[in-house]
Amino acid sequence: MKTMKNDIKSKLSAWLNFDLDLDEVPERTPPKPKAPHRSKLLILRRIQNERVHRAVYALLAVFCSITLAACLLLTVSGMPRYGEDAEFMDTVTYEYLAHGMEYTGVVNIVSGIILEYRAFDTLGESFVLFCAVSCVLLLLRRDGASGKEPPAMRDITGDPILSSSARILVPLIFVFGIYVLLNGHLSPGGGFSGGAVLGAGLIIISSAFGEDVSGRIITERVFKTVTTAALLFYCVGKSYTFFTGANGLPTGIGNGTPGDILSAGLILPLNIAVGMVVACTVYGMYRMFGKGRF
């Protein structure tokens, strides 16, 4: 055995051309002590940062809450007591009631306040509705290419009672909604209430006759076109009247005769624009929550 080992050693030494000592065992270097793992340090640092952020957030929240509560309490303390005469408290109300019809041409002074005195506030409300349905469209939209089936829902399409009732009620609902929309400057109503009625009529059509029928009335393209055009018209129209009024320039848009259907300047078309946005929003919310698509 030893002879065989020596033969192998001589052959390897001749082949490699250097002396090879197979009996020598190489020394192993002791492993270096491991340093603390870097990820553990990062985790600890992240936890400390989160605690600091939470403490700062809590302090800011308390400070903002106390500041807001103090402002509200100071405002309430400065208001007159119940039953006391305060002429300045009724100044704006008196201005609306005494000169609202003269300035705006509307019989329904509520529409005059909403669409004339504080028209940009109403524009903001319309934008809120548009943004809400756009967010729902992004969050609940179902892509047909994904292959995911919508959750099973009870289908009431074709129900004889619902279908028969819808054939009678839907035309009346649309007529009433258009009446409320077009007479908002003459009687209680306007864009928000009329648009809600029209949206309810579209929902009844979708429930009674199926999404194919209602989808032919309002598609996704129609929804985007109508809402965008209505909001743009509202913004441009009121910007024009506010700019001319602030600079003492004539608008060229008369108020007409109060009480006539074609009166009150831009308030009638603005009511129509708001109504279109509200109707599309109501129907769009229903379709997105129910079907996940238009």
Query: What digits encode the pLDDT tens for the residues 213-250?
Result: 777 788 888 888 998 899 899 888 888 888 887 788 88
DSSP class per residue in the chain: -HHHHHHHHHHHHHHHTS---TTPPPPPPPPPPPPPPHHHHHHHHHHHHHHHHHHHHHHHHHHHHHHHHHHHHHHHHTSPPTT---GGGGHHHHHHHHHHHHHH--SSHHHHIIIIITHHHHHHHHHHHHHHHHHHHHHH---GGG-PPPPP----TT-HHHHHHHHHHHHHHHHHHHHHHHTTTTSS--HHHHHHHHHHHHHHHHHHH-HHHHHHHS-HHHHHHHHHHHHHHHHHHHHHHHHHHHTT---S-----TTSSS-STTHHHHHHHHHHHHHHHHHHHHHHHHTS--
| 18, part of any domain | no
pLDDT tens track for 20-78: 444 544 555 655 555 555 677 778 788 888 888 899 999 999 999 999 999 999 988 87
Q: Is residue 64 part of a domain?
A: no
Q: Is residue 146 part of a domain?
A: no
Range of the domain at 183: 109-141+155-290
Residue 204: inside a domain = yes
Residue 149 lies in a domain: no
pLDDT value, residue 89: 65
Task: Please indicate, yes or no, if residue 203 is contained in any of the structural domains.
Answer: yes
Give the pLDDT of residue 152: 56
What's the structural domain count of the chain?
1
Whether 24 maps to a domain, the answer reads: no
Per-residue pLDDT, 145: 47
pTM: 0.64
Residue 66 lies in a domain: no
pLDDT band at 135 (very low <50, low <70, confident <90, very high): confident
